[in-house]
Amino acid sequence: MTYSFTCEQGHEPVTLTVEAENDEEALQKLIEQSAPHLQAAHPEMANVPEDQAKNIIMSNWVKQ
């Protein structure tokens, strides 16, 4: 399954996309893939707790 997450907070939209077998795998991959974006565009969020990061991603992801 393909999962994508679009961040539009204060900048042009950035979409991250991963292939995963299930939601948990997708969350881990999206968290890893989003780390450089967070450091560059949202340094204040770079160290949020993993549960909070998962909630942010799940609130705006698309599964296909």
What pTM did the predictor assign?
0.89
User: pLDDT, tens digit, for every residue of 4-57?
Assistant: 999 999 899 999 999 999 999 999 999 999 999 999 999 998 788 989 999 999
Rounded Cα–Cα distance for residues 44 and 5 (Å) = 19
Number of domains in the chain: 1
CB 62 within 8 A of CB 4: yes
pLDDT value of residue 15:
97
Spatial distance between the Cα atoms of 55 and 17, rounded to a whole number of angstroms: 17
Give the structural domain span for 17.
Answer: 2-63
Q: Residue 64 pLDDT more than 90?
A: yes
